[in-house]
Structure 1
Amino acid sequence: MRIVDHFIAGGADTKSDGRMHDIFDPNQGEVQARVPLGDAALLERAVAAAKEAQPGWAATNPQRRARVMFEFKRLVEGDMDNLAQMLSSEHGKVIADSRGDVQRGLDVIEFACGIPHALKGEYTQGAGPGIDVYSMRQPLGIGAGITPFNFPAMIPMWMFGVSIAVGNAFILKPSERDPSVPRRLAELFLEAGGPEGILQVVHGDKEMVDAILDHPDIAGVSFVGSSDIAHYVYKRGVAAGKRVQAMGGAKNHGIVLPDADLDQVVADLTGAAFGSAGERCMALPVVVPVGEDTAERLKDKLIPAIDALRVGISTDDEAHYGPVVTAEHKQRIENWIATAEREGADIVVDGRGFTLQGHENGWFVGPTLIDNVTPDMESYREEIFGPVLQIVRARDFEEAVALPSKHQYGNGVAIFTRNGHAAREFAARVNVGMVGINVPIPVPVAYHSFGGWKRSAFGDTNQHGMEGIKFWTKVKTVTARWPDGLGGDGELANTFVIPTMG
C-alpha cells in the first residue's frame, strides 16, 4: 500500500505515532493509499527546520528568491500531466478540471515571481529638516497553511507562493483526503532551488491543526474550509497571538434580469453549478430569476441542458464532472435534496440514486435542479457543496439584491444582464465580497485578491495579490536624521518633547 509521507527538512519523514488515514479513489470507492496523521512532536521537527532555514532565506535578496519561484513554475508546468492525474485520482474531478486547479495556483506563483517590485517600500525625502522617512516590508518568520480537499493544488499555491516569496518559511497541512499533490509540490520547490525547511508538508487531523494554532513560533496562519471550522481557527489562532485569515463556506447567487441572454446564462450556470461536482466555494448553486416570465423561460432552457450533462469517471474526457470526494459527502448531498423536498421545494431534476455502469461503488451524484426554493428553507440557508442548483424566484430587482445581501454567506455573487446601469447599481449595493457581471465564477485574477464577507471569511486581509503581500509581511518604518552640525550655541541639542516635522 502506497504511503504519502510527511515532507520535513527536505525529505520524507516517516516517524509517526501510528495513526493513519485512508486515501480513497472516489471513482471506485476503494482505498488506494494511506497517509500518516502527525502530532505536535512531528510539527516541532518541522518548526525546528523552518527556524533554521528562514533567516538565510529572508536575507536572500528578492530577485534571487524570484528566480527560485520562476524555476518552480517551470517545473510544475513540466509536471502538469502527472499532477493532474494524481489530483483526479484522489479528489475525483475530471482531468481538465484538475489541470485548471494547478494552473490557477500557478497564476499566483507567476504573481509571486514579481516579488522584487511588490516588496518596494515608501520613501519621503525631507519629511523634516534633514529628516527622511522610509518603510520596508519584512517577513513574519514562519507561516502555516491549512487547506481543503477541493483545490489541493490551487489553494496551497495561493498561500505558500506569496508567503515564501516575501521571505517566510512555510508549513503546509493539506487535506488528508488528497495529500499527494501538495506533497509533490514541496518536492518540486526543493528541486527548483528552494532551501530545505522553507516549504514543508505535515499531514494530520484536528490534533495537527490545534498544534499549528498553538505553536508560539508560527506567526501567521491561512485557512480555507467550512465556516464553523474557519471561525474556530480564527478565534484560537488570534487568541494565541497569531495573524489569521480564515476563509469559510459560501452560498453564491446568480441574479438573472429579464434582459439577460438566457442561452449564455444556461451555459454559464451548468458549468458554474455542476463543474467539479459543485465542490467549489465559488460554485453558483442558487439562481435568482427576476420575474415569473424570466423564471419559466430559464427553467425551460435549464432542464434539457442539465439532462445533457455527462457524469463520468475522472479520466473520461467527455465527462462534465466526476464523483464527489467521499461516500459520506455523497450521502450528505442526497440528504439535502430530501430536505428541500420535505420543505416544499419542487425537485425538477433528481440526481439521487445515480450509478455509473462499471463503477457502481463510486461516489457519483447526478445533476439536480430544485425550483420554488424560498429563503426560509434550511436547504437554501446552508451550503450543500454538491451538483445541486436551486431556483429562488424574485419579484423585482430590489428583492434580487436583498437575497444575497441578507444571506449568512457573502463569498461571491453574479448578475446577468445587458443593462449597464443595473449592473453598476447591483455591484455597488450588494453585500458580498466578490461580484461577477456576466461572469458566473468571479474568482479574481492573481494580482487582485480573493476574499468574501460575513461568514465566508474571518480576518481583515484577503488571499493573494497585494493583500497577500500585506498578510505575510509586517511593516517597519524608519525615521532618519543626518544633522549637518552642532546646535546654534555650539552644543549638542537635547530634545525632551515628541519631535515634529514642522
Structure 2
Amino acid sequence: MDLQICTELDDPPQMLPPPPGTFVDRDELIQHVGDFAVSQGYVVTIKQSKRDRVVILGCDRGGVYRNRQKHIDESSSEHSRRKKTGSRLTNCPFEAVGKKDDGLWVLTIKNGTHNHEPLKDISEHPSARRFSEREVLLIKEMTESGLKPRQILKRLRQSNPDLLSTPKHVYNVKAKLRQGNVAVRNFKSLSTQKSFVRNNYSVVTEPSWRQCNPQRVPNLIGGRFVDSQSFTSIDVLNPATQEVVSQVPLTTNEEFKAAVFSAKRAFPLWRNTPITTRQRIMFKFQELIRRDIDKLAMCITSEHGKALKDAYGDVLRGLEVVEHACGLATLQMGEFVSNVTNGVDSYSIREPLGVCAGICPFDFPAMIPLWMFPIAVTCGNTFILKPSEKDPGASVMLAELATEAGLPNGVLNIVHGTDDILNAISDDDDIKAISFVGPNAAGAYIYSRALATGKRIQSNVGAKNRAVVLPDASMDATLNALVAAGFGAAGQKWATKHREDKLVERAKALKVNAGTEPDVDLGPVISKQVPGYERGKLHWSHPLSDVTADMGVL
C-alpha cells in the first residue's frame, strides 16, 4: 500500500503546453515559454528564428545530434542528399510559434504534444549546465590568469553552490573564447529552477507577481502561477484606506482555454488516484490553512474591509468544509443489493464528473471558495475557480496552500475576469458542472446559459436573513445575536417600540473603523459604488416596523 502511494506521488509532470498570449518583445515570449516548459518537465530551444518577424520554439530532448558523419559511397544515392543541420531535437512534435503582429509578439501553440517522457530532474538536461554571461566573463579572466578548469569551477561554486557544470563545460567555453565567440545564450528559462521538484503533486515556484508593486494577481494554469498577458486590469482597493492593494488582469480567452485544457488533461490521472490519497492531501491542506490563518485573515480584511475577527470567522467556516472533505471516503461508497429480482443483482457507484467550475461572490472571499473546490477535487473532479475580481487574494493564497499540500498540476486552476469569463465558463463544452453563489439576476442568467449546454448547475441566489422573535425570547440574547449576524439585515420585523429602541441603542454602540484596528465591530463596505443608485441620495439607517409583504421595502 505504501509503495503504491509513493509511486503515485512520484508521477512526472504533465508536460502541458504554455498558455498562448501576447508579449511586448521576442525575449519576453521566449522567457514565458521557457519558464512554463521547465515547470512541466521539458526544455525548449529555438528551432528557427527571423528575429524581427517570427521565432519557432521546439522541445529540446537533450544533446542528441543528428549530423554525425557517416562513411557513404560517393556513387550511392545517399551521397546526393543534403546533409541535415545540427540539432538537439529528436523529432518531438511540440512546436510553439511566436509572430510579430502590429508591434506585439503573439504566441500560438502549433502542436502541444510530446512523444517522450518528461525529465524527472531538470538538472539532468544539458541546458542546466550553461554558464551565465557573468560566469563566462569570469572564466575568461581566470583563464587569462592561468587557472585550470577545476580551479575555475571551484571559485565559481563559491558564489553559485548550485552550479552543475563540469570541467568539460569549462573547456568548451575556453575553446569558444579562443575562436573569438563570446556570445552567451543566457535565457533564464533554460536554467535550473531551484524551486522545481520532481514530485508532480507539488510544483512550487517562487512567485514573481509578489514582487510587483502593486501586485498583479496571477492565473493558476497547469500547476503554475502565470501572469496574464491581458492589458486590461481592475484595481483591488483597501476599503479602509482606498489604497490599491493589487491589480487583477482580466484573463484572456486563450488563457481560459489553457486552464480548461490543463484541467481536462489532469482529470484521468486524478480520478484514478485512490480516495485515500486524495483524502490525505485534504488533511495536509487543512493543516496548512490553520498555519497561515493569520495571513489569510489579514488578506481578507485588506481587500474586503471586514473586521479581522469576521475575517477569521470567514476562514474558519470554510475550514469546516475542508474537514468534511477529509471524511469523504465513506461518503463515496456505492450501494449493492443482491437478487433484486431473480438472478439479478443491483449495484451503484459514485463517479466524478470531470472538469467543474466555481464562480464566487465578494462577500466571503475564503469561505465560499472552500465550499466549492475541496469537495469537488476530493471526489475526483478537476476544478476551475473564478474568484471575485474585488477580493481575489484569499483564493490565490488558498491555491498556493493546496499546491503545497500536494494537489497535482492542473487539478485546481484559477482564472479572473468579469462577464466574458462567466460566459466562457457557461459555454465551454469541457466543463461539466458549475457552482455559483451571487445575486439573483446573475444567477438566473448563468443558470439558463449553462443549462443550454447540458451542464449541471448549482445556483445559490437570493439569500436573505429572516429572524422570527417569539414573545418569550430573551431580549439581550436576541438583540446580541441579531446585531452580530448582520445589522440592518432585510426582512426583520419588530413588534414593539421598546425593541426598536434597544436595537438602535445596540447599533450605535458598534465601533466603526478600519478592519485592522483592535476591537472594531464594523468595517467599511467593499466599495463606494451602489449599482442602480448612481443618482441616489443618502438616508441614514432607520428601523421599520409593521411592514407587510406587499410593501416596496421588501
**TM-score, normalization by structure 1:** 0.65
1:174 matched residue in structure 2: 387
Deviation at 1:63, TM superposition (A): 1.0
Q: Deviations over 1:467-499 (max 9, x none)?
A: xxxxxxxxxxxxxxxxxxxxxxxxxxxxxxxxx
Matches within 5 A, 1:6-405: 6-274=219-487, 284-289=489-494, 294-329=495-530, 335=536, 338=539, 350-351=540-541, 369-371=543-545, 373-378=547-552, 380-381=553-554
- Are the aligned partners of 1:263 and 1:301 in contact in 2 as well (CA < 8 Å)? no
* Paired residue type of 1:316: E
- Are the aligned partners of 1:256 and 1:287 in contact in 2 as well (CA < 8 Å)? no
Counterpart secondary structure, 1:125: strand
* Paired residue type of 2:549: P
Deviation at 1:54, TM superposition (A): 1.1
Aligned equivalents of 1:312, 1:297: Cα separation in 2: 28
* Paired residue type of 1:315: T
- Are the aligned partners of 1:324 and 1:330 in contact in 2 as well (CA < 8 Å)? no
Deviation at 1:61, TM superposition (A): 1.0
Deviation at 1:330, TM superposition (A): 9.5
Q: Deviations over 1:130-157 (max 9, x none)?
A: 4321100100100000000001110011
Instruction: Sort the Cα spacing of 1:144 and 1:32 in 2 relative to 1 into closer, same or farther, 3 A.
Output: same
Instruction: Sort the Cα spacing of 1:234 and 1:16 in 2 relative to 1 into closer, same or farther, 3 A.
Output: same
Aligned equivalents of 1:53, 1:207: Cα separation in 2: 25
Looking at both structures, which has the greater relative contact order when contacts are Cα pairs under 8 Å and sequence separation is at least 6? 1
Deviation at 1:371, TM superposition (A): 4.2
- Are the aligned partners of 1:213 and 1:233 in contact in 2 as well (CA < 8 Å)? yes
Q: Deviations over 1:50-86 (max 9, x none)?
A: 1111111110111111000110010111010000001
Matches within 5 A, 1:480-495: none
Aligned equivalents of 1:221, 1:298: Cα separation in 2: 43
Aligned equivalents of 1:336, 1:87: Cα separation in 2: 30
Gaps of 5+ in 1: 279-283, 339-349, 352-367, 382-502
Deviation at 1:374, TM superposition (A): 4.4
- Are the aligned partners of 1:266 and 1:302 in contact in 2 as well (CA < 8 Å)? yes
Instruction: Sort the Cα spacing of 1:230 and 1:92 in 2 relative to 1 into closer, same or farther, 3 A.
Output: same
2:43 matched residue in structure 1: none
- Are the aligned partners of 2:235 and 2:246 in contact in 1 as well (CA < 8 Å)? yes
**TM-score, normalization by structure 2:** 0.59
Aligned equivalents of 1:229, 1:336: Cα separation in 2: 26
Aligned equivalents of 1:157, 1:168: Cα separation in 2: 15
Counterpart secondary structure, 2:492: strand
Instruction: Sort the Cα spacing of 1:377 and 1:30 in 2 relative to 1 into closer, same or farther, 3 A.
Output: farther
Aligned equivalents of 2:486, 2:366: Cα separation in 1: 21
Q: Deviations over 1:178-210 (max 9, x none)?
A: 001101111111110110110111001100010
In our comparison, the structure showing a higher alpha carbon Rg is 2
* Paired residue type of 2:422: V
Deviation at 1:373, TM superposition (A): 4.2
Bigger strand fraction: 1
Deviation at 1:111, TM superposition (A): 0.6
Aligned Cα RMSD in Å? 1.9
Deviation at 1:114, TM superposition (A): 0.9
Deviation at 1:40, TM superposition (A): 2.2
Aligned equivalents of 1:223, 1:202: Cα separation in 2: 15
Instruction: Sort the Cα spacing of 1:332 and 1:102 in 2 relative to 1 into closer, same or farther, 3 A.
Output: farther
Deviation at 1:47, TM superposition (A): 0.9
